[in-house]
Amino acid sequence: METRLSKAVLGINPSPTEATSSLANRMRRDGIDIISFAQGEPDFDTPPDISLEAVRAVVEGYTRYTDVPGMRDVREAVAEKFGRENGIRYTPSEVMVSNGGKQVLYLLFRTICDPGDEVVVPTPCYVSYEEQIRLSGASPVFVPVSEDRSFRIARDDIEPFITPRTKAVIINSPNNPTGAVCEESDLRAIAALAAERGIFIVTDEVYEHLLYDGRKHVSIAALGDEEKRITVTVNSASKTYAMTGWRIGYAGGPEDVISGMITLQGHVSGNVCSVAQRALLQALRGPQNAVAAMRDSYARRRDLMVEKINSIPGLRCRKPDGAFYAFADVTGLFGKRWREGFLENDLDTAAFFLKEAHVAVVPGTAFRRNGYVRFVFANSEEDIVRGLDRIGSAVASGLKD
**Average per-residue pLDDT in the chain?**
96
pLDDT of residue 179: 98
pLDDT of residue 1: 53
For residue 21, pLDDT beyond 80: no
pLDDT of residue 8: 85
pLDDT of residue 319: 97
Under DSSP, the state recorded for 324 is T
pLDDT of residue 89: 97
**Secondary structure percentages of the chain, helix, strand, coil, to 5:** 50, 15, 35
Q: pLDDT of 124-173, one tens digit each?
A: 999 999 999 999 999 999 999 999 999 999 999 999 999 999 999 999 99
* In contact, 248 and 277? CB cutoff 8 Å: yes
Under DSSP, the state recorded for 3 is -
Tell me the backbone φ, ψ of residue 74, rounded to 5 degrees: -70, -45
In angstroms, the CA 394 to CA 388 distance is 10
Q: pLDDT of 31-85, one tens digit each?
A: 999 999 998 999 999 999 999 999 999 999 999 999 999 999 999 999 999 999 9
pLDDT of residue 17: 67
pTM of the model: 0.94
Quick check: helix, strand or coil at residue 235? Answer: strand
Please report how many Cα atoms fall inside a 13 Å half-sphere around the Cα of residue 106, on the Cβ side. Answer: 16
Q: pLDDT of 306-322, one tens digit each?
A: 999 999 999 999 999 99
The radius of gyration of the chain from alpha carbons, rounded to an integer in Å, stands at 21
